Structure formats: C-alpha cells, structure tokens
A and B are shown apart, each in its own frame.
Chain A
Amino acid sequence: MGSVSTNFVLIDGEKQEVYSSYLRTMGQPINTVKEGLSGVGDFVGGGQIAGVGVTGSGRNLAAVLLGADVVKNEITAHAVAAGNTCPGVNTVLEIGGQDSKLIILRQGVVVDFAMNSVCAAGTGSFLDQQASRLGIPIEEFGGLALQSENSVRIAGRCSVFAESDMIHKQQMGNSLPDIIAGLCDALVRNYLNNLAKGKELKAPVVFQGGVAANAGIKRAFEQALGMEVLVPEHYGVMGALGAALLAHAQPDNKSSNFLGLGISEMSHRSRSFYCSHCANNCEIVELACEDRVLARWGGRCGRWSELACKDIG
C-alpha cells in the first residue's frame, strides 16, 4: 500500500505471479484495499489464500485491515522482488509516488540503501503534476521524451524551481518533447545526486516502481549511468510481489492470520483523536470493523494499543 497506488499480487506455490492489480489509492486506503481484495476474490473463486504479506507506507494499516502474516518495509520488499525476478541484480532503482529508493545488493544480499527524505522533486507525484499541467496523459509522457533529440536543461534540485524553469523554456519556444526530456534528465540528476552519492552503482541495474513505466526516465538513467537499465515485466507491483514472496517464505506449519476475502463486504471506520492522558498528546488512530475495534496505534506508551483487543465499550 503506497501513497499513490495500492497493488495486489497473487503468487502460486511455485512463486509464480498469477494475478496482479494496480489501483490508485486516491487518499482512501481502506476502500482501495477492499476494492482490490474483491478483485482478488473474483479471481480466486473457490481457491484458498495461504498467507498475506503487506508492505509500503500504509503497511501497518493494511496489516490490521487484512490480518497480515508478514509486515515488511518497502525497501526490503523491493529488494526481495528484484532479486527474485532478476537473479544477480546489483542495483535497484525504485521511484514511486512519494519517495524514491536506491538499493545496493551484492551476492543477493542488501548491503546498502538510500531513500529520499523530505523532497518530492524526484518522485512520480511531481511527474504526475507536470503532466497534468501540460495536459498530457502521464502514460504518453515517456514516449514524448523519446522523440526529443536535444533535451533542454532544467533545474532538478527542487520541484518549484523545476516548474518555473519549464515554464521559462516553454515561453522561450523550446519544443514540448525537448522540455519533457529535460525534465527526465533533471529528475534523474536529482535522484543520483541525492541517493547515489558515494555509492558504487554496478550492473545489472533494475529500474522499478510506477515511474519505470516512463521510457524517458529509463533512457535518462541509461545515459547518466552509461549502462543498460532493465525494467522488469511487473515493475509497477514489485513491492507487493516482494511482500508476497516473503509471505511465501513463512514456515508452512504456521496458519495464516488472514481475515478472509469477506472483509471487502464489511464496513470499516477509522477515526483519530488526541490522547490527553499526559503532556505528550499523542495522536491515536483507531480502526474498527463493524462494531469491533481492530486496532489503535500512534501512542507512545502502549495504553491504547493494549486496549485494542477489547471491544468498544
């Protein structure tokens, strides 16, 4: 469950992907999960779900909602999926909606990683925003960039500066493909400056995450790194695939915590409040299914998370 998309991947006992879906979270993670789950239910029919793994920035929410067996951070999940899809991979570039990651592997083991911290300049959301400003569907963005033969220079450090630079170039009369290619270069430059400094990027390089759909960014990476960049077939759902693989790796004798496909039909409700018990004023989030509290989290002291097991009373 990411900031922008919520993805589902179903694998069989042989670790082969049999089903995947990519849904926009649209700020409504609970409904999106339920919608995605009903899609899974339609596909599975009478089949059985043996285990559930969740990842992404919304992993804790998704874990409570679904009853997950594995809750894993997205860095590890992406690395697992990349290692499984492209054995021997040494570098994983991942650009998602709100953050981007660089993962360095050696002999199949993660040895280093970096993740952008506070700035959205190098992420998919910014591309989305620029595409809509230019009135181009995001799907066509990459193709347009490839038409460019002479990309223009755009400042990549900050999305605000990049935007004003783009407007300036557009009013100077530069062609749209050149501007878009320039933006791709800027985004890649920003990514490499922020995440790759001091790190050795070795081939094979895998590029995944939603932005990997953008051929312009892929080309900009290839030019900047001077090596081939591979985009796996299921680039958009690699995090979910990693979580599924991690769930698959659980011991067989462990029964799943999965709450069942039926939860997509139930009503869920979340609310938040400030605890006034001490000066910390923690913000507590509560998730309830029908009339039962599934979990509360956000407190420092554990007072609320302990209450979670009990019904609303």
Chain B
Amino acid sequence: MKITFPHLGYCSIPLRSLFADLGHEVIVPPPITRKTISLGTRYGPEFACYPLKLGLGNFIEALELGADTLVMGGGIGPCRFGYYAQVQRDILLSLGYEFKMLVVEPPLGHAGEFLAVLREVLEEKSWFDLARAAQLAVVKLGACDDIQRASLKLRPLVQDKLAFSRLYQQTLMEIDEAGKVRDVRLAKNTALTAMEAIPRLNYKPPKVALVGEVYLIAEPAANLRIEERLGNMGVEVCRHVWISQWLRVNIFLDFLRLHRQEKAEKLAQPYLQCFVGGHGQHSVGETRKAIQEGIDGVIHVYPFTCTPEIVARGIMQKLAAQEGMPLACFSMDEHSGEAGFQTRLEAFVDILGTRSKEMNSYS
C-alpha cells in the first residue's frame, strides 16, 4: 500500500511514522501551496468549506506522486466533515484516479467500521506491532504539540524571530526523522533548551485566545499562519485545541466511555445547551473562559460556510460586547487576501495595546 492522508498542521509527522512503522510506503502530500488550493477549489463544490478543498488538493497531489490508498477521517453529527470522505472519493473517482479510500470512523458507535479499517492497514502485522507503532506516533505528536506550545509562549518574546523560526522548523524535521521514542524526546528537549536560550525582550506580551474550528486552528496554510504572525507582533497566543488532547478525548476516552463533559462545554451551557456540531460549543465556552481568565482578546477562526461556528459567532459577539472583550472573527476561504488579513490583525493588536496601556494608567 502506498498510503497518503490530508495535511493538518504537523500531523503528517506522527501519521507518516505510524504507517511507515506498519510497513507501508507513505506518500506525504507536498506542503499546501497555491497549487493545492487551486486544485481543491477547481474540483471541490464551491460552497463546501475550505478543509474539504484543501484535503482534496492534498489527495490529488499525492495521487499524482503514486499514492494508492487514501486515509481520511470520518465522523457523524451536524458538521459536514463526516461526509467529506465520501464526497472526496466520488470527486476523485470521477477524475479517473484509481485508489482505495479508508475512512476512519469514530470508534465509539462505529467500532465495526473502525476495526475493519485497522485490519486493512495492519495486513499481516500483529496488534503488538500496531501498539508499538502507535506509541511512537503518539509520542511524536505530543512532542510537536509541546514544541508548538513553547513557540506560542516564546516567539513574542525572542528578539531574533527568524532564528526562532529556523529552530522551530529544524526541530520538527528532527522529530520527523527520529526512529525511537528516546530520539524524539532528545530532539524535543534539546530544542526546548535552545529556544529558552535565545535572548529575549523585556516585555509582558498581551495574550490572545485563539478559538474556533479545529482544522483552521491547526493548519497554518489555512489560517494564513496566524499564530506566527501574532507571535511576530509580540502577542502570546493561548490555544485550547491540541490534536494530542483531542485524540485522547475523542478516541480513547470516548472509547472507554470515560469521556466526561469538558470544561469548555460546561461553560457554554448558559448560552448554548446543545451540540451544534464541530467546535461550536467549545468556541462559546472558550470565549467565556478567556473572559474569566483575564485574557486580553479573543480571535475566532473558522471556515467560510461553517454552520457550527456561525452559530457560535453570534453568541460570542454578544458575550464579548457585554464583557468588553475585544473579539475578532475571521471566516477563512481561498479568497482570504493576506494584506487585508494582516491589516485586521494589526488593528486588533493595536486595540489590545491601547487597552492594556489604559488599564495600567488606572492601576
């Protein structure tokens, strides 16, 4: 099998590791570029959201490189994502590609389908092999998340942002190449030490909570590298959606029926009682949490036409206005011009700056 999968930030690192350790050839799609975007928007339905189009572009580029097995997430519920694997498969078939599509459905309630996909991927490998491959992949994912977490904290403070970016990229590459759990940990710890050692500005950065739809938060090519931009402007990004954590909650805890309601969902209760799909409830809850925690501003990112986040947005705007919390909402699509985006971000950061100055002068 020549396996491929759509990009989601640095998730290609653990996924490549997982499938390669199970003895498959892995074809990681080329990074998302203008070419990916134009392929996706050309063949994707216009009013489907950006994640479908980018994923479709990834698949086309990987198929051109010889991939024959596509792994895609499934799902159920109001968010259209659960249906995207089927739509993408039909589009790709109509374009004349030959491939097998494996759709990973949530294990809870779809255990049969989930296990069938696993067996297909395992071929003659044992469950023990799977456990070992999965362990390395999970460690790699955790290490990437840790590096990202550190970069959100340190980027606004370091003087040499370019050197910092280089170190960050270098570390991800080392994690990608590491073959053992020990090597991953070593690469991560060395990088964290090196990041800490870069000279810093003496400055207390304003904090912004980045909330919204998970793909848009985790894929820099889709959110126009918002975390990096904010970091370079001297803003610390607080983010609550992490892939490793999402896996833990949605795959393992769900599966073991240990999943308790998360804090964000509870916080959303007075405003949004029901599950509206995707991360709608989370976005409302995270906004409330940011207000409680004294964060300086909230940025909401979601794909254009995303129903769950549009439901959340109306509530968030009212909540933010009531509480005097600066809120910027970005609905992202292929049309999102970088210049206008940068202008809005800068203006938003200016609001945070004047606010904190004002607060200091009162205290």
A residues sitting closer than 8 Å to B (CB atoms) are: 57, 72-76, 99, 109-113, 115, 117-118, 198-200, 278-281, 300-302, 306
Complex Cα distance A72/B349, Å? 11
By the criterion CB–CB under 8 Å, are B317 and A117 in contact?
no
By the criterion CB–CB under 8 Å, are B318 and A198 in contact?
yes
Chain B residues with CB under 8 Å of A300's CB are 225
Q: Binary interface profile of B, 249-264, with partner A (CB < 8 Å = 1, else 0)?
A: 0000000000000000
| Residue from the list A111, A117, A198, A200 in contact with B351, Cβ < 8 A | A111
Does B354 belong to the interface (CB within 8 Å)? yes
By the criterion CB–CB under 8 Å, are A75 and B162 in contact?
no
By the criterion CB–CB under 8 Å, are A115 and B33 in contact?
no
Nearest chain B CB to A292's CB is how many angstroms away? 22
The 26 sampled A-B contact pairs (Cβ below 8 Å) are A57-B339, A57-B340, A72-B346, A75-B343, A75-B346, A99-B340, A109-B355, A110-B347, A111-B324, A111-B326, A111-B351, A112-B321, A112-B327, A113-B344, A113-B347, A117-B336, A118-B335, A118-B337, A198-B314, A198-B318, A198-B321, A278-B31, A281-B33, A281-B34, A301-B166, A302-B166
| Residue from the list B162, B331, B333, B355 in contact with A302, Cβ < 8 A | B162
By the criterion CB–CB under 8 Å, are A115 and B343 in contact?
yes
Nearest chain B CB to A242's CB is how many angstroms away? 12
Complex Cα distance A72/B350, Å? 10
CB contact list, B139-183 vs A, under 8 A: 162, 165-166, 169
| Residue from the list A109, A112, A279 in contact with B31, Cβ < 8 A | A279
Complex Cα distance A75/B225, Å? 21
By the criterion CB–CB under 8 Å, are B33 and A73 in contact?
no
By the criterion CB–CB under 8 Å, are B350 and A76 in contact?
yes
Decide if the interface of chain B is mainly helix, strand, loop or mixed: helix
Q: List the A residue with the shortest CB-CB distance to B350.
A: A76
By the criterion CB–CB under 8 Å, are A73 and B318 in contact?
no
Does B30 belong to the interface (CB within 8 Å)? yes
Complex Cα distance A290/B298, Å? 45
Complex Cα distance A198/B350, Å? 21
CB contact list, B319-363 vs A, under 8 A: 321, 324, 326-327, 331, 333, 335-337, 339-340, 342-344, 346-348, 350-351, 354-355, 358
By the criterion CB–CB under 8 Å, are B347 and A73 in contact?
yes
Q: List the A residue with the shortest CB-CB distance to B335.
A: A118
| Residue from the list B165, B335, B346 in contact with A301, Cβ < 8 A | B165
Chain A residues with CB under 8 Å of B31's CB are 278-280
Nearest chain A CB to B81's CB is how many angstroms away? 23
Query: Sorted from nearest, which 4 A-B pairs have the closest CB atoms?
Result: A75-B347, A73-B346, A302-B162, A76-B350
By the criterion CB–CB under 8 Å, are A73 and B326 in contact?
no
Q: List the A residue with the shortest CB-CB distance to B332.
A: A117
In this complex, which of B35, B331, B333, B354 has the most chain A Cβ atoms within 10 angstroms of its Cβ?
B354
Complex Cα distance A199/B326, Å? 12
Chain A residues with CB under 8 Å of B339's CB are 57
Complex Cα distance A306/B336, Å? 27
By the criterion CB–CB under 8 Å, are A73 and B350 in contact?
yes
Chain B residues with CB under 8 Å of A109's CB are 354-355, 358
Nearest chain B CB to A182's CB is how many angstroms away? 28
Nearest chain A CB to B325's CB is how many angstroms away? 10
Chain A residues with CB under 8 Å of B354's CB are 109-110
| Residue from the list A73, A112, A200 in contact with B343, Cβ < 8 A | A73
CB contact list, B278-327 vs A, under 8 A: 314, 317-318, 321, 324, 326-327
Complex Cα distance A32/B198, Å? 42
Complex Cα distance A199/B358, Å? 22
By the criterion CB–CB under 8 Å, are B317 and A280 in contact?
no
Chain B residues with CB under 8 Å of A200's CB are 321
Complex Cα distance A75/B324, Å? 19
By the criterion CB–CB under 8 Å, are B335 and A280 in contact?
no
Complex Cα distance A118/B339, Å? 12
Complex Cα distance A112/B336, Å? 21
Complex Cα distance A99/B344, Å? 12
Complex Cα distance A200/B169, Å? 44
Chain A residues with CB under 8 Å of B326's CB are 111-112
Starting from the known contacts A111-B324, A115-B344, A117-B331, 12 additional A-B residue pairs (CB-CB under 8 Å) come to A57-B340, A73-B344, A73-B350, A99-B340, A110-B351, A113-B344, A198-B318, A199-B321, A278-B31, A281-B33, A302-B165, A302-B166
By the criterion CB–CB under 8 Å, are A75 and B344 in contact?
yes
Complex Cα distance A302/B331, Å? 27
Nearest chain A CB to B305's CB is how many angstroms away? 13
Chain A residues with CB under 8 Å of B321's CB are 112, 198-200
By the criterion CB–CB under 8 Å, are B162 and A117 in contact?
no
Nearest chain B CB to A216's CB is how many angstroms away? 27
Chain B residues with CB under 8 Å of A278's CB are 31
Complex Cα distance A89/B33, Å? 44
Complex Cα distance A133/B340, Å? 28
Chain A residues with CB under 8 Å of B350's CB are 73, 75-76, 110
Chain A residues with CB under 8 Å of B333's CB are 118
Complex Cα distance A301/B327, Å? 29
By the criterion CB–CB under 8 Å, are A76 and B346 in contact?
yes
In this complex, which of A74, A110, A117, A199 has the most chain B Cβ atoms within 10 angstroms of its Cβ?
A117
| Residue from the list A75, A99, A279 in contact with B33, Cβ < 8 A | A279
Chain A residues with CB under 8 Å of B35's CB are 281
